[in-house]
Structure 1
């Protein structure tokens, strides 16, 4: 059948999966999109996990895999908490809630089309949307601040910059612009931390009026005393004219020397909110008692919202208490039921850090301070963060009472993981393929051990390969990109230039609207990767199944194919990507991997190997490192080339977190079958990672030793973390593992 256009029509699910698929499979019908990982949304995700709504697909959009908790920021700055203690892991939380996580910063909201725009990727469609993006302390109108200042919010950026600054050795000169409670907390915490590190600290707190304006008299007196104790110079009734690299200039001409200038002068909304067309007050989205904006499909919570029905100052306590109302109202909209109202309290307990392990508690004008207040604040903060820690995967549904003997053992103690793309081991497939008749056509050259074939077409050599992956991330755009890189690996490993591709997509059951949205994301991701690689999509098919699966059949052209069979004793082995994706993604499904580790693994899996393939075009042998693991694919080279290999395990680059997870006993589902390829091998965490199945892994090339320095130099200049990981030896095909 000619594939002149994409055939993306869904076939009837009954024709594919039978009666069970028709009767029992759940269909997702409505998209609920959460923009921002603020406190309200974090709590909502946790509550959603406890009671999900059938038929709804939940999506979280956030720039980073973690969200910093503002209540513990002063404690982190002062040195009381580690950096990790500050973060809510959104990757784990989204997995726990069964939500898609899109790592990206929203830049616009199209309320007419019902779409959230994210630079660098397709828009995300929604039926209901909630915005919880917080605020910023950036000062775009203050000359020099964008270049030399550090906003106190977003918290993650500030925390990273502060960590770098505090570890220095020079005298520390700091300035905080903004004398509200946030600025006072911050300058006290910074000064305390620098003193504890033995650094001479010179601190200034600058405000255009009086500091702590609007706070109770007792609070002002106690906080001023704390500033005096820490030697902070308070400059009031002073306007800042500009910020330089090492100073702050005031409008009266004074210059304040500062190597670390931060802004905490009030809350500012993100500029894109004013361009949504939604009603706002000074950029903060106006919301009703039901937390809805002027568009009833769009909700807003936390500091980015203005409670016009009950104006209140910006405070985390309101965001926390909005969460159950937001959850109830999103569910009510989806179920066509009445909405609830949120009624904020008029006053609340304020707990303010005072630098060291002392805090101030203030309510209704009365203030108490001391170590007991710090312990109270610490208890409240730790209790809040405990809600997002030690999340456990939801248990699988119990097996039927009546079942085939041995079914429980066959399924194993854990569900099939996505660390290996839900692939089967090489043994079964190789046995079946070996039993087939050899190719009878003269224009087909099947290569032993290679995953691609060589075809002769009109005097040219064409490479043909196919591959597919079950979803290891719920972001269909990213999954399409990863699957494309994975499938292109066989083409690149033969030194070929990608030519054409067909796409095969299996979608879970979705409504027509969600099907269109999901396919649009998939095809955009696929097209981007394949076009960048020099190939065109020429057709495709789609169907419905139990889970998202994306595959590609790809052709490439080459004049001098690089196969597995050309390696020679004395060749050195070069690897172009770190390994460990199988372990990291298996841990992600078990809620054991840190979000930052997962984000880095996903980033590497989307890294094209096109330029690496070109730079390695003169290799004697080459393969892409995928399901058999690094050692398994190296063994393939040895078997095809008739030689042995020495793999220096200590030289192999690893993805962040992979070794730590391996030490914890995390293994991908395919790991036991990869282990069977190396009988007698002594297991340890590092060695086991050599057997870890990879998704969209790097290229492993055997090249002459004399070429190694130049090739490594060129690869690294092109941005590849290429490393020499071993060499080939004369002898029977085998892989010898060498530590060091």
Structure 2
């Protein structure tokens, strides 16, 4: 639906908190035409607070409490930018980011949560862990548990309800895993659980005593060391894991926005607007000036429908709704084991049935971000060819290298071109780039373009530039000059200028880093974002696909699997015990990593080299073997694979190009069935280099590549002809 209308307005959701997650889901159900939605969050997943104590206690795996923002953004039709907001330029209407250029907004909303760290406490930054943000805490807790200490010591700073919950959860988890833990709860206040009704406090104190958790109140921590917390009276409390739950702290950058704040939190009125009517706020980072409430996720969840309606009203000039939070809410406090305590308005109850009730509530919330409803597409007319109905039922066409024409059709099209007729054209179709004699120099020329698989034009431009440069690097040449070919989607004038600037800035950075110049190009407007680059390079020695020798080792520099990950992300895949968003983020980083340094290392010693792109590892290896008149044996188990790719292949996911890739290689490849073999036909975008090198040099080359940060491996050996590939 969005493709039918030009994008003219920008809505930016800063942070992936509960309110924003719900707003994005609502937007996916009912988008506003002409609006580009952007979600900014440093991580591809966001934790759900309600299940954190259960995770710490060991009742839930990490993936059970994480909202996959990548899948959510795809459902919402939103651009997801993995970065941290550090400011808002209200005059220019820009959100300032930590790791990349700012992004514009017409309307923005902030839901970045709070922190519970103690930056002023000496040693805490190096040796302590803050309970909020939750994602880092959950990750570091799992790493601590994995150490399997026999006598683990945990100190929790902050004896409010959250501190008590996490102390009980920590004790339960460590006991369950066979340790003999010591858990200490400390607070500078004279008593535990300030502000909690006396009956509830007595019950929770009894739980702490039964769990043998030491409680120290009226004490002041003055330092955190690697193995202890030091108190003002000189006492040292042994600690292998020091956790702060010591109060809600607004994120420091909010004060620099010029927006009105209360104790570091953005002040909002009934409409959830801040002192700037174009900027909204919700969740723990907001202070409800008209109805102050404690920081609790329930208020963020309840605010979400009002926030969603008011964001649309701000964009379209409609009437605002008012958010009136309830005065009290049912507090369900986990007790470590599978029991919970309920408290509301002085009424208390507890037991296993309450934990099961809480578990159902939490799972019902998370279910909203697991299986998204299928939104209807444009209906076909009643009278259409049967072939069109079959095509419409197929999985959508992939983007990136997954959108290439299949190798069979391409080979047929190129068959009639023939050998070059000019003496200064030194190579014809079939290699990674054309090789030209220019005066006394040898120049290579190549072109490539990608259909965008992310609406983040900056990220897409970097990947497309890296991908196009790969053909030059694969031939051992140094990039020289680059021309851009840009097809922009339909955009408003300001957004068009911004997107084009982002593309040229990101691509230009890659090109300059490669030692080349971005000298111009061509732009047009079309149905969707498509980016291409034509690249020239200079070579002292051209490394072609032909030249591999029997006995050579085959070195692969990057892990494979980008095609299946991109296809799964496009299809909103959900695989048990896997976070698709995290796999996608790793794949995006891998695609954006240039292979220039690896090429500089391999080219002087390689007998043959190519980059692994659209036809998959098997397809490009067979091209090398065919050009060299050789065979090869591939060791399947050592082929590096991106995290999540194997699980997705096992679940039946694949790129729309994979079937054509398999058809082109199956008749020349002897291989067992299985998901690892399926990945050999997976089209790669921004893939690695595949080089045939002398066997005696392979180990040293791989070691050097790994020192560069590449997951390189010797994946097989070249043998004598005829051309064939054996996979074992």
Measured after TM superposition, the shift of residue 527 of structure 1 is 1.1
- Contact in 2 for aligned 1:563/1:621 (Cα 8 Å): yes
2:179 aligned residue (199, 210, 213): 199
- When residues 369 and 527 of structure 1 are mapped into structure 2, their CA distance, relative to the original with a 3 A threshold, is same
Structure 1 CA distance, aligned partners of 2:452 and 2:153?
Answer: 50
- Report SS of the residue matched to 1:690: helix
Match of 1:610 in 2: 596
Q: Kindly provide the CA deviation profile for residues 513-533 of structure 1, in whole angstroms up to 9, marking residues without a partner as x.
A: 111221122122111111111
Match of 1:674 in 2: 661
Aligned positions of 1:687-702 closer than 5 A: 687-702=677-692
Match of 1:630 in 2: 617
Structure 2 CA distance, aligned partners of 1:307 and 1:673?
Answer: 57
- Contact in 1 for aligned 2:123/2:223 (Cα 8 Å): yes
Q: Which runs of 5+ in 2 are unaligned?
A: 575-579
Match of 1:659 in 2: 646
Structure 2 CA distance, aligned partners of 1:292 and 1:421?
Answer: 43
Match of 1:293 in 2: 274
- Report SS of the residue matched to 2:108: strand
Aligned positions of 1:252-263 closer than 5 A: 252-263=233-244
2:551 aligned residue (570, 587, 609): 570
Structure 2 CA distance, aligned partners of 1:25 and 1:325?
Answer: 28
1:595 aligned residue (581, 592, 609): 581
Q: Kindly provide the CA deviation profile for residues 429-454 of structure 1, in whole angstroms up to 9, marking residues without a partner as x.
A: 33223323643332222245213111
- When residues 461 and 409 of structure 1 are mapped into structure 2, their CA distance, relative to the original with a 3 A threshold, is same
Structure 2 CA distance, aligned partners of 1:401 and 1:641?
Answer: 54
Size of the aligned set, in residue pairs, is: 717
2:635 aligned residue (648, 651, 654): 648
Q: Kindly provide the CA deviation profile for residues 83-116 of structure 1, in whole angstroms up to 9, marking residues without a partner as x.
A: 1111011111111111111111111111111111
Match of 2:412 in 1: 431
Measured after TM superposition, the shift of residue 392 of structure 1 is 4.9
Structure 2 CA distance, aligned partners of 1:439 and 1:411?
Answer: 41
- Contact in 2 for aligned 1:122/1:524 (Cα 8 Å): no
Confirm or deny that 1:72 pairs with 2:62. Answer: no
- When residues 421 and 475 of structure 1 are mapped into structure 2, their CA distance, relative to the original with a 3 A threshold, is farther
Structure 1 CA distance, aligned partners of 2:354 and 2:500?
Answer: 54
Match of 1:15 in 2: none
Match of 2:193 in 1: 212
- When residues 473 and 301 of structure 1 are mapped into structure 2, their CA distance, relative to the original with a 3 A threshold, is same
- Contact in 1 for aligned 2:10/2:38 (Cα 8 Å): yes
Aligned positions of 1:229-248 closer than 5 A: 229-248=210-229
- When residues 437 and 174 of structure 1 are mapped into structure 2, their CA distance, relative to the original with a 3 A threshold, is closer
Match of 2:9 in 1: 30
Match of 1:737 in 2: 727
Confirm or deny that 1:52 pairs with 2:42. Answer: no
Match of 2:577 in 1: none
| Comparing 416-425 and 310-319, the one that deviates more | 416-425
Q: Kindly provide the CA deviation profile for residues 26-75 of structure 1, in whole angstroms up to 9, marking residues without a partner as x.
A: 11110100010000001111111111111111110111110000111001
Measured after TM superposition, the shift of residue 362 of structure 1 is 0.7
Q: Kindly provide the CA deviation profile for residues 414-466 of structure 1, in whole angstroms up to 9, marking residues without a partner as x.
A: 11122634111123233223323643332222245213111122311111000
- Contact in 1 for aligned 2:171/2:336 (Cα 8 Å): yes
Structure 2 CA distance, aligned partners of 1:119 and 1:656?
Answer: 26
- Report SS of the residue matched to 2:426: strand
Structure 2 CA distance, aligned partners of 1:392 and 1:536?
Answer: 47
- When residues 392 and 626 of structure 1 are mapped into structure 2, their CA distance, relative to the original with a 3 A threshold, is farther
Match of 2:159 in 1: 179
- Report SS of the residue matched to 1:716: helix
- Report SS of the residue matched to 1:446: coil
Structure 2 CA distance, aligned partners of 1:40 and 1:629?
Answer: 41
Confirm or deny that 1:308 pairs with 2:298. Answer: no
| Comparing 484-493 and 386-395, the one that deviates more | 386-395
Structure 1 CA distance, aligned partners of 2:393 and 2:323?
Answer: 47
Confirm or deny that 1:684 pairs with 2:674. Answer: yes
- When residues 59 and 727 of structure 1 are mapped into structure 2, their CA distance, relative to the original with a 3 A threshold, is same
Structure 1 CA distance, aligned partners of 2:236 and 2:365?
Answer: 42
Match of 1:718 in 2: 708
Confirm or deny that 1:479 pairs with 2:454. Answer: no
| Comparing 290-299 and 167-176, the one that deviates more | 167-176
Structure 2 CA distance, aligned partners of 1:652 and 1:398?
Answer: 44
- Contact in 2 for aligned 1:35/1:129 (Cα 8 Å): yes
Structure 2 CA distance, aligned partners of 1:243 and 1:559?
Answer: 58
Alignment TM-score, normalising by the size of structure 2: 0.96
- Report SS of the residue matched to 2:446: strand
Structure 1 CA distance, aligned partners of 2:57 and 2:3?
Answer: 55
Match of 2:338 in 1: 357
| Comparing 116-125 and 391-400, the one that deviates more | 391-400
- Contact in 2 for aligned 1:392/1:591 (Cα 8 Å): no
Q: Kindly provide the CA deviation profile for residues 622-641 of structure 1, in whole angstroms up to 9, marking residues without a partner as x.
A: 00000010000001111111
Q: Kindly provide the CA deviation profile for residues 290-343 of structure 1, in whole angstroms up to 9, marking residues without a partner as x.
A: 001111111010000111111111111110011000100011111111111111
Structure 2 CA distance, aligned partners of 1:120 and 1:266?
Answer: 28
Match of 1:188 in 2: 168
Alignment TM-score, normalising by the size of structure 1: 0.95
Q: Kindly provide the CA deviation profile for residues 185-216 of structure 1, in whole angstroms up to 9, marking residues without a partner as x.
A: 11111011111112111111111112111111
- Report SS of the residue matched to 1:397: coil
Structure 1 CA distance, aligned partners of 2:328 and 2:4?
Answer: 49
- Contact in 1 for aligned 2:160/2:194 (Cα 8 Å): yes
Q: Which runs of 5+ in 1 are unaligned?
A: 1-20
| Comparing 506-515 and 404-413, the one that deviates more | 404-413
2:320 aligned residue (335, 339, 359): 339
Measured after TM superposition, the shift of residue 393 of structure 1 is 4.9
Structure 1 CA distance, aligned partners of 2:646 and 2:400?
Answer: 15
Aligned positions of 1:526-605 closer than 5 A: 526-592=507-573, 594-605=580-591
Confirm or deny that 1:161 pairs with 2:140. Answer: yes
- Report SS of the residue matched to 1:567: coil
Measured after TM superposition, the shift of residue 708 of structure 1 is 1.0
Structure 2 CA distance, aligned partners of 1:249 and 1:561?
Answer: 64
